[in-house]
């Protein structure tokens, strides 16, 4: 019985430590998977124009697994998924997009989860220019 008590104590201690680290915001993501700025390739940077077809939010590897904003942009070459930024940042900056809105997007071409897309670095909407990332793909709007 002593051995089983010891094993249960070790398991409980590991669980408490894991929960504590999780509460403190420590991430358990693998460092070898391509995430965030690591997916941004400046050599693949393009400029596209189109109209917002749909606005989406989902957990995304581009935003390191965070809930993030996306728009489906209808272009002359087809529909591209535009990876914007984590939702907390978009909401904090009061940035939103709506179907039917014309946009020009500068960013790096990407293929993720079977979809052609672009990681947005800069978005132009009318006379407004929104800079999301630096030329290396690092987020500039941080909260």
The string of pLDDT tens digits covering residues 92-101 is 889 999 999 9
Report the distance separating Cα 5 and Cα 103, nearest Å.
62
User: What pLDDT is recorded for position 1?
Assistant: 59
User: What pLDDT is recorded for position 9?
Assistant: 72
The string of pLDDT tens digits covering residues 38-50 is 788 999 999 999 9
DSSP characters for 34-47?
Answer: --GGGG--GGGEEE
* Per-residue pLDDT at 15 exceeds 80: no
pLDDT classification of 16: cutoffs 50, 70, 90: confident
User: What pLDDT is recorded for position 31?
Assistant: 35
Name which of 56, 51, 55 is nearest 100 in CA terms: 51
Question: How remote is the C-alpha of 95 from its chain's centroid?
Answer: 15
- 3-state secondary structure at position 127: coil
Report the distance separating Cα 18 and Cα 77, nearest Å.
47
Average pLDDT over residues 21-39: 52
Report the distance separating Cα 33 and Cα 75, nearest Å.
30
> What average pLDDT is seen over the chain?
83
Report the distance separating Cα 36 and Cα 47, nearest Å.
20
């Amino acid at each position: 019985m002593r051995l089983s008590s010891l094993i249960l104590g070790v398991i409980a201690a590991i669980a408490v430590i894991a929960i504590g680290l999780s509460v403190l915001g420590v991430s358990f993501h693998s460092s070898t998977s391509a995430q965030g700025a690591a997916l941004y390739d400046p050599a693949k940077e393009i400029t596209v124009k189109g109209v917002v077809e749909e606005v989406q939010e989902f957990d995304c590897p581009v935003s390191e697994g965070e809930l993030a904003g996306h728009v489906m942009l209808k272009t002359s070459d087809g529909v591209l998924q535009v990876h914007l930024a984590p939702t907390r940042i978009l909401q904090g900056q009061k940035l939103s997009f709506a179907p039917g809105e014309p946009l020009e997007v500068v960013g790096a071409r990407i293929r993720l989860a079977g979809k052609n897309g672009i990681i947005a670095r800069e978005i132009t909407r009318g006379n407004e220019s929104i800079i999301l990332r630096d030329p290396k793909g690092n987020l500039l709007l941080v909260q």
